[in-house]
Structures are given as structure tokens and as C-alpha cells.
Amino acid sequence: MTDKIRVDSERAEKAQFSLIDPDSRVNFDSVTSVCVLAFTKNESNLVVVLLKRGLDIPGGHVTIDDDTLETTARREAMEEAAISLGSPILIGYLESNALKDTVGTTHIAMVAAMVEEIHLFDHRCDAIDRQILSPEDFLKEYRGDSLLMQELIRRAQLALAL
């Protein structure tokens, strides 16, 4: 699959992000990626994936075949975590300056969803492993911006009425 907008890893690492509200007028054409905060129904745990960089939420690039955020969210959840989602709810965007000099401001859409089905995880998935953790345990292991992730989890729990 071909990414709609490709951001090389060096630019992505240097990018600065700002969390903006889901009701912001963001054009789908500026969305490079979609990330999913996927919660289990029974205990409201998060389904997370182990990547080379550590534990993270499932997500990935919008491809030229993706026509909605939901399409990307569902595809990435299946590819990385082998899960099927209920109805995804947009909880915000991360606005990025990574490509400001070439294509302008870009966005990463952040969605929340309940897990409808957990499929067999085989190592053909994009991730090394899948884990199901409480939000608190995930935050202890998360290597990224923990304050930002804490806010995203809070927004997801509110949106899903957990």
C-alpha cells in the first residue's frame, strides 16, 4: 500500500506536536496517520502493541486507498494488533510541523474505540507483540510524551463513557 503523504523517520523524530480539539476544521487531505486508543469491553483495558521503539497504541499512515479516518483506524488496528473495532470516535488531532516546509501543516488523527473482537495475533502483524494493559500500567511503560498520552487516554475514556 502506498502512503498518501510519507513522512520520513528523521523528520518525524524532530517534529513538534500540538494537541487540538476534534471539532477543529481539519481537512482529511492533511491527515498523515491515524492512531487508535482501543479499549476492551470487560475491564476497560487498552490494547497496545510492542514496536521496536517500545509499547505504543496501534496506528499508522493513511494510504491512498483510505477514504476516511475510520477506514485507516480499522485497517491499522487489524494490521498492528489483530483487533476489530466498534465505531471509532475522533478525540483530537496532533498537529505537526514535520512537513511545514513542503506540504504544510499535517495532522495525526486520534480516535477511541471499543474492541469488538480480538483475533489470533500472529507475528505476521506489523507489531512484535500485542498486550492488554490497564491505562495506568501502559503509562508506566510508555516511552513517549506521557502527559500527552495521559490526556489522550482521558479523552478516550470520556468519549467511550468508561
Here the CATH number for the domain that contains residue 78 is 3.90.79.10
The mean pLDDT value of the chain amounts to: 89
pLDDT at 13 over 60: no
Instruction: Determine the structural domain holding residue 95 and report its residue range.
Output: 9-159
**Has residue 14 been placed in a domain?**
yes
Summarize the confidence of residues 66-91 as an average pLDDT.
Answer: 96
**Helix, strand, coil percentages, rounded to 5, for the chain:** 25, 35, 40
Q: How many domains does the chain have?
A: 1
**Has residue 2 been placed in a domain?**
no
Whether 14 contacts 98, CB under 8 Å: yes
**Has residue 3 been placed in a domain?**
no
Q: How many CA atoms are closer than 13 Å to the CA of 99, on its beta-carbon side?
A: 16
Higher pLDDT among residues 124 and 109, named by residue? 109
In angstroms, rounded to a whole number, what is the distance separating the alpha carbons of residues 122 and 144? 26
- Grid cell for residue 12: 518525524
**Has residue 138 been placed in a domain?**
yes
**Has residue 1 been placed in a domain?**
no
- Residues whose CB is less than 8 angstroms from the CB of residue 22 and which lie 6 or more positions away in sequence, other chains included: 90, 91, 92, 93
pLDDT at 137 over 80: yes
